[in-house]
Amino acid sequence: MNIETTEYLICIAVGLLAAIQLLYTFIIYNAPHRRAVAERKGGLKLSAQQPGISVIITTADCEQLLEKHLPLILEQEYPDFEVIVVDDNSKDGTKDLLQRLSEQYPNLYSTFTSDSIRYISHKKLALTLGIKAAKKEWVVFTEPDCYPTSRQWLASLARHFSDSTDVVLGYSNYERRPGIANRCYVFDTLLQQLRLLGLTLRGGGYMGLGRNMAYRKEIFFTNKGYSHHLDLERGEDDLFINEHVPARRITADVSAHSVVRCASADSYTWRNDKLSRLYIRPKMRGIQPYLLGADTLSRILFYIGAVGAVAISLLSHWWITLGIASGLWLTVLGCRLFVFQRIARDLNERRYLFSLPLLELLHPCWELYFRLRLFFSSKQAYLRRKA
């Protein structure tokens, strides 16, 4: 194979990978911005009805987080809602806190799980108790370390409650804090959220996330709750929605009013969440997980190919190949920056400019790391365990 042929093949390979990345960028990642623009221009038919909502939170030893976040939920500007907190046998002052807050907020209710439960996911049990206690038509899920950034959170989600919709997803991410580690957590979650919401808005909804999600209560009872996945420690949101709700009946709200932030912005929370969802992904139905896997794989190959092409071109003095590879990398990076900046404005999210090239290069690295870590780890950590 002569030099010209080698250069030609390198350019073709990097070009194809760049084209794949551009397709994902504008078709999937840009979909939330397109929806936000359509909403601002009045191009969407949104519901004016405001049915009753039950907000369900499960907690275990999160007294300080609840004390900080519960008032932000209890003071939502929505006419008909209740908040149900299920205490999973907390050892701190959670019980006293809930009693004190219930005296101030009459729409706050609490229950608890028994400490005698064995060999079952306490998260699934607690959620089941909360859903059974719910008195309203729609149930909204969040977690004790999460809080809405607006008092219009419930009202914003409720605009999408309709006869043709069973599930509404909202955007959630970690709190923004100083430091490169936090930028990695927030950037990675931004990518995952844009992919999930983008697919959903494109008619390919396939799962949910319990930090910011609403669905009809009847779905839970019609499908016998989490009975199909009691062997898993996780999966109460993603697998349940994936198995029981058709894609056409899932939608998403991408308003800044429905954003939820998570205070547990640390490596431990991020790592456990990543590994748990990677373990569950092969169990999901549909082509969507494979489409997202292809996005990750093509991004890894693109950056390996682009960096490799630039390095080889510099060493071999292939200036045309160097220009093409560099141009393709800058084009992909520029398009992603353009899309991310627009959606960041829509969601009041962190802007990315100078840090984006570094994060784009680091993202494939930590994706490979987590996949290798999951492959070599014990799978018992993701199965139900003795309490």
- Give the pLDDT of the chain (387 residues) as one tens digit per residue: 555 788 888 899 999 999 999 999 999 999 999 999 999 888 888 888 899 999 999 998 899 999 999 999 999 999 999 999 999 888 888 999 999 999 999 999 998 886 655 556 678 888 999 999 999 999 999 999 999 999 999 999 999 999 999 999 999 999 988 888 889 999 999 999 999 999 999 999 999 999 999 999 999 999 988 887 777 777 778 889 999 999 999 999 999 999 999 998 788 888 888 888 888 888 899 999 999 989 989 998 999 999 999 998 888 888 888 899 999 999 999 999 999 999 999 999 988 888 888 998 888 888 888 989 888 887 666 665 443
Cα–Cα distance for residue pair 240/219, rounded to 1 Å: 10
Asked if 299 and 257 sit in the same domain, the reply is no
Token readout for 180 is 């490169």
Cα–Cα distance for residue pair 39/255, rounded to 1 Å: 9
Asked if 14 and 131 sit in the same domain, the reply is no
Strand order in the sheet with 172-174: 146-148, 260-262, 172-174
Look up the domain containing 348 and give its range. Answer: 3-29+290-382
Asked if 366 and 249 sit in the same domain, the reply is no
35 within a domain of the structure (yes/no): no
177 CA to centre of own chain: 19
Asked if 230 and 301 sit in the same domain, the reply is no
Asked if 180 and 213 sit in the same domain, the reply is yes
Pairing of strands 81-87, 108-112: parallel
Cα–Cα distance for residue pair 164/249, rounded to 1 Å: 6
Q: Which of 149, 337, 339, 376 is nearest to 260 (CA)?
A: 149
210 within a domain of the structure (yes/no): yes
Question: Which residue type does 342 have?
Answer: R
92 within a domain of the structure (yes/no): yes
Question: How many domains does the chain divide into?
Answer: 2
Q: Which of 158, 159, 149 is nearest to 73 (CA)?
A: 149
Asked if 229 and 304 sit in the same domain, the reply is no
Question: Which residue type does 179 have?
Answer: G
Asked if 114 and 152 sit in the same domain, the reply is yes
CATH number of the domain residue 59 falls in? 3.90.550.10
Q: Indicate the pTM of the whole model.
A: 0.91
DSSP 58-100: EESS-HHHHHHHHHHHHT-S-SSEEEEEEE-S-SSSHHHHHHH
Asked if 240 and 272 sit in the same domain, the reply is yes
39 within a domain of the structure (yes/no): no
Domain end, chosen from 268, 287, 306, is at: 287
Asked if 114 and 228 sit in the same domain, the reply is yes
240 within a domain of the structure (yes/no): yes
Residue whose entry in the numeric block shows the structure tokens 């959606």: 343
44 within a domain of the structure (yes/no): no
111 within a domain of the structure (yes/no): yes
Domain end, chosen from 256, 272, 287, is at: 287
Asked if 256 and 349 sit in the same domain, the reply is no
Token readout for 84 is 């149900």
3-state secondary structure at position 341: helix
46 within a domain of the structure (yes/no): no
3-state secondary structure at position 78: coil
Cα–Cα distance for residue pair 133/340, rounded to 1 Å: 40
Asked if 167 and 245 sit in the same domain, the reply is yes
Domain end, chosen from 217, 252, 287, is at: 287
Asked if 210 and 304 sit in the same domain, the reply is no
Tally of CA atoms within 13 A in the half-sphere of 263 that contains its CB: 15
